[in-house]
Amino acid sequence: MRGYDPDFIGVHLPPPTFTLELESELVEQGKIFDYPNYSVIQNGHQDKRSPAIVMLNIDQSKYYKVGSGRWKTDPRFSDTYQLDNDYYYKNPWDRGHMARRATAAWGDTESEAQFRSKETYYYTNAVLQHENINKDEWLNVLEEWVKHLDIAKDKKITSMNGPIYGEYDRVIRPSGQPVALVPAGFFKVVCFINKHTNKLDVRAFIMYQDEEAIKDRKGAAKYNNQHYQVTISEIEALTGLQFSSDIYKANPLIACEEHRDSSKNIIRVPERIEVAKADDLVDENTTRETVLDDDIDVYIAAALIDPDGNDRGKEWISVINLGVDDIDLTGWSLCDNSGNKALLDSLTSQTFRPTLVPGESRVFDNIQSSLQLSNKSDVIKLYDNNDQRVDWVNYSAENVKKGQTTLFLSPRDTLK
């Protein structure tokens, strides 16, 4: 069986190595198990029983639209090393493909692609993934970006994916079965030869589904269902995987101070950039957006996204000053995920008052002609008069209730 080919895209990308702690958990010390177009290194720890990493080769020129398959255990593994359907039955946890069916479904013929699609339905290729993530449009944005990436030489891509566990993971225990940990998040490393530069190019991502389990170095909780473009170093620190130096060097995000490039407006390292659409992705030539989220205590507090009756003219967004200084809102603006941006003074039906004193909030209720807030999922951004981002919030369809306000101030669970 032809599994992951480390030379598939034209440069050698070996499977990652492991820290001693991770290696002690792996089935057969990290043996590679092959499937059509992909390979798995399985974590056999009793509390995990999930892939440590799934490595997938993708040929965009050979996609076929094919049907789905039926989930099954892999007979090469003892049941003590893999979860089964009991862990996904009548609960909010879906079988989250690590090698995605749509991108694994390629081959020289339609029947070959169909077979390869069905061969992604092994529990060794699945992790406990919240049902709202599996349905989420932003996840689909990322997967569709990979599927239709148009700068990959020869249309060939390598994708490495897997779960991230934290210190305080949720657990699930089906009747009569041992406990299993629920991953705090997931990583994806996408590798390809850029057809414009003929060099290896890499994009790395993390998406969290449990903000309680992982905190950053400052102790700040991650919002659920939020995507980040990240450094390889961050993924390594969270997983115990150790990627090749070529992958590390080809990732455009900067991990340490000595490599920080002020000409690209890289202010903080290691870099972590929120992603809500393909245009948010950063490459080696991208000048970064100035982000003042941690410096100015003005926040998008709430929004009425789906008013009762006809939406038009009834939506609003509120902004609050939780700092100790007066803030002059002259020249400030709000922006939606489609890139529509409007000055605050044009977004109020009342006389615009530019000064926002500490503790004061302001409602902007004249947004219908300038901003479009999707009832399914969206992002709202707040910018100051120098076009520097002051706040960034996201929401999913699960947060939007007809006629009810959506709150953003406290960490919210976009999976509920």
DSSP characters over 106-118: B-SSHHHHHHHHH
pLDDT digits (tens, 9 = 90+) for 341-353: 999 999 999 999 9
Shared domain check, 382 and 305: yes
d(C-alpha 37, C-alpha 58), whole Å: 7
The residues, ordered by sequence, that sit 6+ positions from 38 with a Cβ below 8 Å of its Cβ are 3, 4, 54, 55, 56, 57, 99, 104, 120, 125
DSSP 3-state of 254 = coil
Shared domain check, 314 and 232: no
Q: Of the residues 247, 280, 313, which one is the last residue of a structural domain?
A: 280
pLDDT digits (tens, 9 = 90+) for 144-203: 788 888 999 999 999 999 999 998 899 999 999 999 999 999 999 999 999 999 999 999
**What is the value of pTM for the model shown?**
0.87
In-domain check, residue 121? yes
- Residue 260: its pLDDT value, please? 85
d(C-alpha 133, C-alpha 184), whole Å: 12
Q: Please give the tally of structural domains in the chain.
A: 2
Shared domain check, 93 and 232: yes
In-domain check, residue 3? no
Q: 120 pLDDT exceeds 80?
A: yes
Shared domain check, 137 and 27: yes
Q: Which domain holds residue 72?
A: 17-280
